Amino acid sequence: MKAESIRLAYTICTFEELSEKDKCLLEKAKEATYTSYSPFSHFCVGAAVELENGEVMQGSNQENASFTTGLCAERCVIFYANARYPDVPVKTIAIAARDTSGEFTANPTSPCGACRQVLSEIEYRYNKPMRVLLYGKEHVWVLESVSDLLPFKFNASSL
């Protein structure tokens, strides 16, 4: 038997320490939280992506009374970007959330498992890492690849 471990690499910084480009993308993600339709959870999530061609797109979570048919902000924006620009890789995704009191979360909110799988597929599809910016009022997490969110990923090479 052999024990192994995985080390996840990420940077913790303040919003002010980010580049202007990253700040702008996070502001777009924060802005997108206001288009959330979340009458059940009251947890508003926004996401923004920057594509390799410079386009920036936004998405937000959309809930439904049939809970499983709703969609997270991350998947909304990724699917929209891929539908509009199917041959253009996503460089960076920024994610922000407001809690049930309507305030932005103090700590970063990480994508759910389904979103991690979709984001991982985008990296695999374009064979390029996608940076991930996770916003919290107190600090921001910066990951250089979705692989740091989902180290044991399932993709076409697994089939």
* Owner of token pair 């990480």: 110
Q: Which of 74, 103, 121, 123 is catalytic?
A: 74
Nearest one of 50, 51, 58 to 33, comparing CA atoms: 58
Tracing tokens 């991930």 back to the chain, one arrives at 132
In 3D space, the residue among 40, 18, 145, 39 whose CA is nearest the CA of residue 29 turns out to be 18
- 20 is an active site residue: no
Tokens of 109: 């909110």
Residue 98: which of 26, 30, 27 has the closest Cα?
30
Give dist(CA 65, CA 38) in Å, integer: 10
Q: What's the DSSP call for residue 105?
A: P
Contacts of 39 (CB under 8 A, 6+ apart): 63
Q: Give catalytic residue positions.
A: 74
